[in-house]
Chains A and B, each alone.
Chain A
Amino acid sequence: MSDDVKQIIIDYVKKEYLEEDSEEEVDENTPLISSGIVDSFSMVSLKTFIEKKFNIKIPDEKATTEAFDSVNNIIDLLKEYNVS
């Protein structure tokens, strides 16, 4: 998995979910959903972004809150779609 993919997702999470003045740090291990940074309603933006960016379609049964709970988890999911 290239660092580019990781960075693309981290950058998106920061821009999409954190306020500009937020001091919160996000890395590949940061819990996203269980920490409240991304709620289950807002998760749809992240899923849509990833689908568009990497030109894939993630079925709802795979887009679980666990699968999206950290950038590392998302990267694991993306491996199934040969995104690297």
Chain B
Amino acid sequence: MSYSSKAKEFYEGELSSISEAGTFKEERYIQSPQAANIKVEYPTGSPAKEVLNFCANNYLGLSSHPDVIKAAHEGLEQRGYGLSSVRFICGTQDIHDELEKKLSTFLGTEATVLFASCMDANAGVFDVVLGKEDAMIADRLVHASIVDGMRLCKAQLYNYKHSNMDHLEEKLKDTQECRFRMIITDGVFSMDGDIAKLDTIVELGKKYDAMVMVDDSHATGFLGKTGRGTHEHCGVFGEIDVITTTLGKALGGASGGCVSGRKEIVDLCRQRARPYLFSNTVPPVIIAAANKVIDLISKTTDRRDKLEQNTKYFREKMTTAGFDIREGEHPIVPIMLYNAKLAQDMARDLYDEGIYVIGFSFPVVPKGQARIRVQISAGHEKEHLDKAIAAFTRIGEKYKILGKQKKEIIDLYGY
């Protein structure tokens, strides 16, 4: 063993450069269950403060729903805590099979296989179905986990300008000699909340004989009339070859993900996807709760309807208040500020006002595109939204950005 002073100094230098770049990620300790109202100890050591949470992926407000917690308790009582195994040795229970079948029905696919996370699903799926004679054609803004998954795959990598269908078509024309091709996109892009043009993508897939893969983590459970996801929203339900998604956002928010789609692809994942083969099974507590979540959201659309209304209300009021908001209909609402320091300063001031939001800047978003990303939940009540809008308005006035568009904000604060 030798942890040399050379190594230590090198790592310290790396950490310092992250801090100097202003991208050092700090953890804030939450002393309550995940919900619209949370208690946060921040800065560390200070007394817990009650804040309204506008930065969780708790879209349907199910993270701490009593029925979900009850189902988790029952799972714990009836199927135990852990399985001490991967799936294919002795880690598959009846409830895992039940959840996979329910997810297939909900997502409109032939089959589903669970992974420890959607990150794992994305890390595993490409290498299973594509080889060096194949092509992956991905939107330039796909999630980092897809980028990592594609790097683990030997297929040729192409990418197209974000949501630019002409550019995608060009790439499809350029790769006609490949054996198989897969168009790869997020259903909803997490920093902008914009929705992939899945109807056109599916059409192009058919025209050029290319499979379509969608990571629908920011859509499953609430996008589309019955919450099935981006494919339902875009009128192509049942037409996606591979969907990856997460149980860690709208569907209860614990952890776990899946690959859902064509039966042969899912079956091959069970045989060859390395994160599936070498990760422990998703624990019974999570599986039992996720089964309940699918039951709840299959029975009624009340929660996704409330989320839609909340989103509409918040977007309208914030636009009226004079904020520069990326247009759209998704509960991810980017408040555009362009300048990184302005985004950080405003997020800090909002926290002081009891509104927990995060400022994002380069390299998480492109340079000069800094913003505060607000995430709306069905767990928010109108009074929560009104409190947030009032706080935003006060802080917006303080920084003199209300009613100002991109150019004027940049004139004031720079990029």
- Inter-subunit contact A19/B157 (CB<8 Å): no
User: What chain A residues lie within 8 Å of B367 (beta carbons)?
Assistant: 35-36
Number of A-B contacts (CB under 8 A): 21
B147 touches A41 (CB 8 A): yes
In the complex, the chain B residue whose C-beta lies closest to that of A41 is: B147
Task: Assess whether A48 is interfacial by the CB under 8 Å rule.
Answer: yes
Contact with A along B138-174 (1 / 0, CB 8 A): 0010000001000000001111010000000000000
Interface size on A, residues (CB 8 A): 11
Majority SS at the chain B contact face: loop
Say whether B159 contacts A36, CB under 8 Å.
no
Residue of A nearest to B146 (CB): A41
A41 near B366: Cβ-Cβ < 8 Å? no
Is the pair A44, B157 in contact by a Cβ cutoff of 8 Å? Answer: yes
Are A41 and B362 closer than 8 Å at their CB atoms?
no
Report whether A45 and B366 are in contact in the complex, using a CB–CB cutoff of 8 Å: no
B159 touches A42 (CB 8 A): yes
Q: In whole Å, how far is A24's beta carbon from the nearest beta carbon of chain B?
A: 11
| Interchain CB contact under 8 A, B362 and A36 | yes
Q: Is the CB of B161 within 8 A of A44?
A: no
Q: Is the CB of B147 within 8 A of A45?
A: no
The number of chain B residues touching the other chain, given as a range, is: 10 to 19
Tell me the minimal C-beta distance from B259 to chain A in angstroms: 22
Would you call A36 and B161 a contact (CB within 8 A)?
no
Nearest Cβ in chain B — how far from A25, in angstroms?
16
- Name which residue of chain B comes closest to A36, CB basis: B367
Contact assessment for A48 and B158 in the assembled complex, using a CB-CB cutoff below 8 Å: yes
Select A41's contact among B156, B159, B161, beta carbons within 8 Å.
B159
Binary CB contact string for chain A from 49 to 66 against chain B (1 if under 8 A, 0 otherwise):
000000000000000000
Residues facing A in B357-380 (CB within 8 A) are 362-363, 366-367
Alpha-carbon gap, A23 to B154, bound state (A): 36
* A39 contacts B by Cβ under 8 Å: yes
Pairwise interchain contact A44-B159, C-beta atoms closer than 8 A: yes
B366 x A36 contact (CB < 8 A)? yes
> Across the interface, do A39 and B140 meet the contact criterion of CB distance under 8 Å?
yes
A45-B161 contact given A35-B367, A36-B362, A39-B140, CB 8 Å threshold: no
Q: Which residue of A lies closest to B150 (CB)?
A: A41
Q: Mark B299-332, 1 if CB is under 8 A from A, else 0.
A: 0000000000000000000000000000000000
- 8 further contact pairs, Cβ within 8 A, besides A17-B161, A36-B366, A39-B140: A19-B161, A35-B367, A36-B367, A41-B140, A42-B140, A42-B159, A44-B159, A48-B156
Chain B contacts to A: CB under 8 angstroms? 140, 147, 156-159, 161, 362-363, 366-367
